[in-house]
């Protein structure tokens, strides 16, 4: 007897977990099929959006680090003038 799993893909977490557990049960004949509703964002598109978001976050972090360095330099300059 073969067990068929129809699993929504979404972001990939659920199907990854089910596939991992199913792999452990080697004695069971199984097939896992990822499904998505028509018109839904595909897993590939969702992954692309996550990658774009992560890249944006990296750019933002770099900009914030640069701003922080400038602020620290400015604060130190002001403190040196005041504390003399």
Is the predicted pLDDT of residue 44 greater than 80, yes or no?
A: no
Q: What's the confidence (pLDDT) of residue 56?
A: 94
Q: What mean pLDDT comes out for the span 13-31?
A: 88
Question: Dihedral sign, CA of 50, 54, 57, 63?
Answer: negative
Q: What's the confidence (pLDDT) of residue 82?
A: 87
In the chain, the percentage of residues whose pLDDT exceeds 70 is 100
Q: What mean pLDDT comes out for the span 41-60?
A: 86
Q: What's the gap between Cα 8 and its chain centre?
A: 18
pLDDT range class, residue 57, cuts 50, 70, 90:
very high
Q: What's the confidence (pLDDT) of residue 47?
A: 81
Q: What's the gap between Cα 61 and its chain centre?
A: 16
């Amino acid at each position: 007897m073969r067990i068929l799993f129809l699993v929504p893909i979404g972001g990939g977490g659920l199907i990854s977990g089910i596939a991992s557990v199913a792999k452990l049960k080697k004695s069971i004949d199984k097939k896992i099929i990822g499904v998505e509703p028509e018109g839904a964002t595909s897993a590939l598109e969702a992954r692309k959006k996550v990658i774009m978001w992560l890249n944006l976050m990296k750019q933002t972090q770099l900009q914030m680090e640069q701003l922080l360095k400038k602020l620290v330099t400015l604060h130190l300059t002001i403190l040196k003038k005041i504390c003399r």
